[in-house]
């Protein structure tokens, strides 16, 4: 019987690529979405056309403090065999010093740090029954902050430490790893000049693709002796410094 993979933020961008990859690997996909109901429904229909009854969708605004508890309750009520949690959903916007406020901090930290952590905690019994795994989507800016995005960088740095802590505490029944994307997909409002500055700083000289992340996650899911690791997927950028954005 196929087991299920929960992917937060699964209907777009990197989350979409991960969902398609794990589905092709034979897993059933639990599509979490926040606001993108149309895209989530389209993905659900596509996956179920490929393999009937292999996808379902659940909504939760992970910026809301009570969302994780509701989502967990819905998952338990679905009575599925869950073996994978991919914490992909993320909140990203600039918060320059002097312009940010508590509400922005709460939104970023709840979405990017607290919700992934408590999802892992509250689903640990279910995941542990299947010798499951958790993979957190981090960012290369967890190690060196992105200018004007201090709260975002802080949230990803804290999630990296949470990844290592969870790997200790949830062993031996659950493996926990992190994946740190570099320049994979441009932010929707990025400028061409800043894009070129980033590309100039990447040894491989090109933008990564969402499938690069999805393929690594596919490997980590199947690699049963890897836990407590954070792997950068950045074209070599972290090896030479962080020039550019």
The 10s digit of each residue's pLDDT in 89-119 is 999 999 999 999 999 999 999 999 999 999 9
Lowest mean pLDDT among 104-108, 180-184, 236-240: 236-240
**C-alpha–C-alpha distance, residues 59 and 70, integer Å:** 10
* Sequence-distant (≥ 6) Cβ neighbours of residue 145 within 8 angstroms: 153, 154
Nearest to 234, CA basis, from 223, 245, 224, 225: 245
Beta carbons of 16 and 210 less than 8 angstroms apart: yes
Mean pLDDT of 138-146: 94
Query: Annotated catalytic sites, by residue?
Result: 13, 139, 152
Other CB atoms within a 10 A radius of the CB of residue 59 amount to 16
Q: How far is it, in rounded angstroms, from Cα 106 to Cα 36?
A: 21
pLDDT at 192: 63
221-226 average pLDDT score: 98
Helix (H) or strand (E) holding 232: strand 230-233
Side-by-side strand order, sheet with 55-59 = 55-59, 28-33, 4-7, 82-87, 133-137, 175-181, 230-233
Instruction: Provide mean pLDDT across the span 186-197.
Output: 68
DSSP assignment string, 37-92: HHHHHHHHHHHHHHSTT-EEEEE--TTSTTHHHHHHHHHHHHT--EEEEEE-----
* 87 contacts 135 by C-beta, under 8 angstroms: yes
3-state DSSP assignment of residue 145: coil
Give the Cα separation of 234 and 71 in Å (integer).
32
Domain boundaries, the chain: 4-181+210-235
In this prediction the pTM is 0.95
User: CA nearest 62: which of 82, 42, 87?
Assistant: 87
pLDDT category of residue 187 using cuts at 50, 70 and 90:
low
- Report domain 4-181+210-235's class: alpha beta
Q: CA-to-CA distance for 211 and 233, rounded, in angstroms?
A: 11
């Amino acid at each position: 019987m196929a087991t299920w993979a929960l992917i937060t933020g699964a209907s777009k961008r990197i989350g979409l690529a991960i969902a398609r990859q794990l589905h092709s690997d034979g897993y059933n996909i639990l599509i979490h979405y926040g606001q993108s109901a149309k895209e989530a429904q389209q993905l659900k229909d596509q996956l179920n056309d490929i393999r009937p009854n292999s996808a379902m969708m659940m909504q939760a605004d992970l910026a809301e403090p009570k969302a994780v508890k509701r989502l967990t309750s819905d998952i338990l009520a679905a009575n599925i065999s869950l073996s994978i949690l991919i914490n992909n959903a993320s909140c990203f916007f600039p918060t320059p010093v002097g312009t940010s406020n508590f509400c922005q901090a709460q939104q970023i930290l709840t979405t990017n740090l607290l919700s992934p952590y408590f999802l892992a905690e509250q689903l640990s019994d279910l995941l542990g029954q299947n010798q499951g795994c958790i993979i957190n989507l981090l960012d290369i800016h967890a190690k060196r902050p992105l200018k004007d995005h201090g709260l975002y960088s802080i949230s990803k740095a804290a999630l990296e430490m949470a990844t290592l802590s969870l790997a200790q505490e949830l062993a031996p029944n659950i493996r926990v790893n992190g994946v740190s994307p570099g320049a994979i997909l441009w932010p929707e409002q990025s400028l061409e000049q800043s894009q070129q500055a980033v590309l100039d700083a990447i040894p491989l000289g090109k933008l990564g693709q969402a499938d690069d992340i999805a393929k690594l996650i596919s490997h980590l899911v199947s690699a049963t002796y890897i836990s407590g690791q954070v792997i950068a997927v950045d074209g070599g950028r972290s090896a030479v410094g962080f020039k550019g954005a």
